[in-house]
Amino acid sequence: MRLELGRIKIKDIQFGEKTVVKEGTLYVNRAELIKFLKEDNRIADVDVDLARPGESIRIIPVKDVIEPRVKVSGKGCIFPGILGKPETVGEGRTHVLDGVCVITAGKIVGFQEGIIDMTGPGAQYTPFSKTNNIVVVCHPEVGLSKHDHEAAVRIAGLKAAKYLGEAGKEVEPDEINVFETLPLKETLNMYPNLPRVAYVYMLQSQGLLHDTYVYGVDAKRIIPTFIYPTEIMDGAVISGNCVSACDKNTTYHHLNNPVIRELYNRNGKDINFIGVIITNENVTLADKQRSSDYTSKLVEYIGADGVIITEEGFGNPDTDLIMNCTKLEEKGIKTVIIADEYAGRDGMSQSLADASKSADAMVSVGNANELITLPKLDKVLGDIDAAEVIAGGFSGSLSEDGSMIVEIQAIIGSTNELGLSYLSAVKY
């Protein structure tokens, strides 16, 4: 499959009479967007606001972050299976409003949602303090169940991203990035002298508002399977979960997975990138055994020499991570895992909930239990009272002056396990 991503660089966002891109600025018809989102009868009202880098704005609690995109050519639509037929995507051309995000917020759905500060010390931990954000604050109908609440907000964010993405359909991109993966037979023979590397992409699927969707199907219902990398880059996988904010893979993270990008960058240079296997993170031991057995079988079947594994979340999913790693190593396939740590506020506790001698090559993306003080900001979009409920917050987190003390796990993307974050190791 060959996918062209046409990136339209957006330097500013403004409200305007028409939703359109002009000279690097995205103008948004606020009233039209609100009317469009309120077509869902589960939503009583919607507020739409803007948050730009450096502004004294706090967004809380954040549900999802989505990058506006539109299919220009090729099969399918953006977010297939959710906003259109579940046709296979990953080919043709898709235009991207680069530098813009839709952020959904409002009354808390699950306790594991998070914070985005556009300035101050918290802004240093999230990539979304650097983007121009259209913040969609949804007010669901009274009495809606949590699952319906989550679904309504999730779909509102995707619809808003699609609506905004349409503004870039006829715009000439500032740059075009091309990604191509050939059928497996050709891929395996392309660079015979380089090690064959695959990517095992673990998707959160524990239920209880911990879900990821693949072409509209809840990932807990799938068995591990092959997928073209370009399908993921083209909206086949979306977030629908309330895992801790620090290591939540928002829809933006799926669309811009840096592991996939780097594997493409290295392809033909020092590795042969042979593909992606998506797998799930289940709750029961039997499900974990089934998925990890199936994953290792698929990786062995395609002839991989090495594998990168990423997880989403912590605790229970650490078991899936270690089981995948151990079974691959037992087959002689070298593995590297990427994960964050929950090592306590002093950094002295066990980092992962499971361990194995086989897991001897790990990239750590940070300790989520680290404490941070966030000062009062001038404007809050959403519900500030969520500060004492979200994971990483606690009773007493929120001070009378509007400042708060939280663990960095409360900040969206601070220890993202795909590596789309700002923390790094320091050599002493």
Please give the Cα distance from 197 to 185 (Å, whole number): 15
Q: Give me the phi and psi of 132, to 5 degrees please.
A: -85, 120
Output DSSP code: residue 109: S
Please give the Cα distance from 177 to 190 (Å, whole number): 21
Please give the Cα distance from 12 to 159 (Å, whole number): 21
DSSP labels for 257-271? -HHHHHHHHHBTTTB
Q: Give me the phi and psi of 202, to 5 degrees please.
A: -80, 125
Dihedral angle, C-alpha 151, 154, 160, 162, nearest 10 °: -100
- Residue type at 45 in one-letter notation: D
Q: Select which of 138, 242, 246, 325 is catalytic.
A: 242
Catalytic annotation present for 101: no
Please give the Cα distance from 102 to 138 (Å, whole number): 12
Residues 6+ apart with CB under 8 A from 130: 53
Provide the token pair at 326: 């151990």
Please give the Cα distance from 66 to 63 (Å, whole number): 10
Which amino acids are annotated catalytic? 242
